[in-house]
Amino acid sequence: MQKTSAKPDDPKPGHQAPEFLVHEDGDGVGVIVVEGIKAGEELTGWVMAQDRTITITVRNDIPIGHKVALKDFAVGDGVRKYGVDIGRVIAPILKGEHVHVHNLKTRRW
């Protein structure tokens, strides 16, 4: 399946549109913004506050709107997204893995 952007193409010629977004340095996860992400793919992400790009190789298929780990996490670690602590890790997470309800207990519930 070909990945499709969930937002308009990057307006800067020669630049790839990001496949995940990170709000600021210090966030532990990025949010996938394209469909069709498959395990083993190398993705480009945009760290918005610092206006820089990063890359990561994903370990799992990850649906659009879900999170990818930017570092390894141990059980009990806090996870930051958009500069906010969003919850605690309930199962070990490796860099590049899908982060969701199977390995993260969110602060919302």
Reference 39, options 18, 74, 63; nearest CA is 63
Provide the pLDDT confidence category of residue 14 given band limits of 50, 70 and 90. low
Residue 89's pLDDT is 97
Residue 32's pLDDT is 98
CATH class of 16-106: mainly beta
Copy the structure tokens of residue 61: 């298929």
| pLDDT reading at 6 higher than 50 | no
Bridging pattern class, strands 67-69 and 29-32: antiparallel
Reference 19, options 40, 38, 37, 1; nearest CA is 37
Q: What is the pLDDT of residues 23-78, one digit of tens each?
A: 999 999 999 999 999 999 999 999 999 999 999 999 999 999 999 999 999 999 99
What are the sequence ranges of the domains in the chain?
16-106
| pLDDT reading at 3 higher than 70 | no
Give the predicted TM-score (pTM) of the model.
Answer: 0.84
Provide the pLDDT confidence category of residue 109 given band limits of 50, 70 and 90. low
70 CB neighbour count, 10 Å cutoff: 22
